[in-house]
Structure 1
Amino acid sequence: MKRIVIIGATSGIGNEVAKIYLEQGCRVGAAGRRQKELEELKALFPGQVEIQPLDVTESDAPEKLQLLIDKLGGMDLFLLSSGVGSQNLQLDPAIELKTASTNVDGFIRMVTAAFDYFKKQGGGHLAVISSIAGTKGLGSAPAYSATKRFQNTYIEALEQLSYMEKLNICFTDIRPGFVATALLKDDTYPMLMMPADVARYIVKALKKKQHVVTIDICYAVLVFFWRMIPRWLWRRLPIKTKHQQ
């Protein structure tokens, strides 16, 4: 039976992905900051779910991840689905630093812990949910777009490191567009996707062990042309975002 650990399983995309795997009969280790939501998920699938309260910004997060893995009896797939993002036109440093704390510090903390576990185990599948926001720097959300670019590059680097060390680790960088989660509360966003639909897309991509996944095809086309916009033109575009996953 496949053993899957999901960080950020209490809501949004992570919660929907967890439910799909549980419905498929997998065992899931669910982690997140909210104890109540973790217990509710466990109650829905008794005998299949192990839970662990965990905050990626705290220094003890790797130890709590190991506790969860031990409860689960091992880990075959690791999915990091925790992240924050805010529009910050005023460039409030507190907002920028909070975003970096979760999306950079927390990201490194959890991904390196998962990498080390799979290295010792002799293989595994390490996946993260980043964003298409890493494609270009967004003036309305500097830290968010910058941290997502960081995540894209970090996973690419770990994939190369794994190959250099001849490790049997598969990597997947999942890049959704606008998703109707708690982080994105404005329903006026174009091409807004539902978490359940995104979760189904993710599970299929993980089954195929794709390396980079842009969700969905409309956003894949958008990103293709987005990359082609020259810098002199990009800085003149008044692109605004509020919250993204």
Structure 2
Amino acid sequence: MKRAVIIGATSGIGYEVAKLLLLQGWNIGVAGRRQSSLEAFQTIAPDHIAIQALDVTESDSEAKLQRLIEKLGGMDLFLLSSGIGKQNMELKPDIEQSIISTNVSGFTRMVDAAFLYFKKQGHGHLAVISSIAGTKGLGAAPAYSATKRYQNIYIDALEQLAHLQKLNIRFTDIRPGFVDTDLLSSGTDYPMLMKPGIVGESIVKALKRKKRIAIIDGRYAFIVFFWRMIPQWLWKRMPVKTR
């Protein structure tokens, strides 16, 4: 029986991925901050779902992740789907620091713990949901785009570390565009908004194929291709923001 641990699976993208993996015969370990949401999710398939309340910004999150793995009976796939983001053109310090706490400190805690578990086990698949926002610095969301770039580079580094240590660990960096989830519930009109169910299907396909980088979807892959070609002197003059 294949076993997957998903951090942030009680809503949004993580929820859709978890449901699809369950349909494909996986046992799922689900972590999130709200115990009530976890218990509600577990009712979907009580015999195939283990739960654990966990906040990635807290120092005990690694120990709680290990507890969840033990409840599940092991881990073959780890998916980090927890993250926050917000436009902050006013650079309000509390917003920037909150994003950094979750997307950098919390991210690092979780992926390091998963990496060390797979190293000890001898194999594993470590996947994260970052964003196309890590491609370029977005003036409307400085901390968000910078933290997503951090995530991209961190996974690059872990992949190299695994190779240096001759470890059998596969990595997948999933980079969606705008997805219609609670993360984007501020009332802003986001362009090319994607449905979570469709995004979840694309992610599961990418995980099955063990793709190294998965940009979701094709429209955003096209955009990112051209973003990378724009020189910095021109990029700073471009009004890249949501409407």
Q: Compute the TM-score of the two structures, normalised by the length of structure 2.
A: 0.98
Q: Which residue does the alignment assign to 2:5?
A: 5
Gaps of 5+ in 1: none
Does 2:138 match 1:138? yes
1:55-94 matches, cutoff 5 A: 55-94=55-94
Matched residue SS, 1:96: helix
- Percent identity, aligned pairs only, is 68
Residue 239 of structure 1, CA deviation: 2.0
Cα 1:91–1:187 shift into 2, 3 Å: closer
Instruction: Check whether the contact 1:141–1:241 (CA below 8 A) recurs between aligned residues.
Output: no
Residue 160 of structure 1, CA deviation: 0.5
Matched residue SS, 2:78: strand
Q: Distance in 2 between matches of 1:224 and 1:150?
A: 19
Instruction: Check whether the contact 1:6–1:31 (CA below 8 A) recurs between aligned residues.
Output: yes
1:162-201 matches, cutoff 5 A: 162-185=162-185, 186=187, 188-201=189-202
Q: Which residue does the alignment assign to 1:236?
A: 237
Q: Distance in 1 between matches of 2:242 and 2:175?
A: 16
Matched residue SS, 1:214: strand
Instruction: Check whether the contact 2:115–2:126 (CA below 8 A) recurs between aligned residues.
Output: yes
Instruction: Check whether the contact 2:191–2:242 (CA below 8 A) recurs between aligned residues.
Output: no
Q: Distance in 1 between matches of 2:25 and 2:119?
A: 26
Gaps of 5+ in 2: none
Residue 187 of structure 1, CA deviation: 6.7
Residue 52 of structure 1, CA deviation: 0.2
Residue 35 of structure 1, CA deviation: 1.0
Q: Which residue does the alignment assign to 1:207?
A: 208
Count residues in correspondence: 242
Q: Distance in 1 between matches of 2:166 and 2:3?
A: 23
Matched residue SS, 1:170: strand
Does 2:104 match 1:100? no
Matched residue SS, 1:10: coil
Matched residue SS, 1:44: coil
Q: Compute the TM-score of the two structures, normalised by the length of structure 1.
A: 0.97
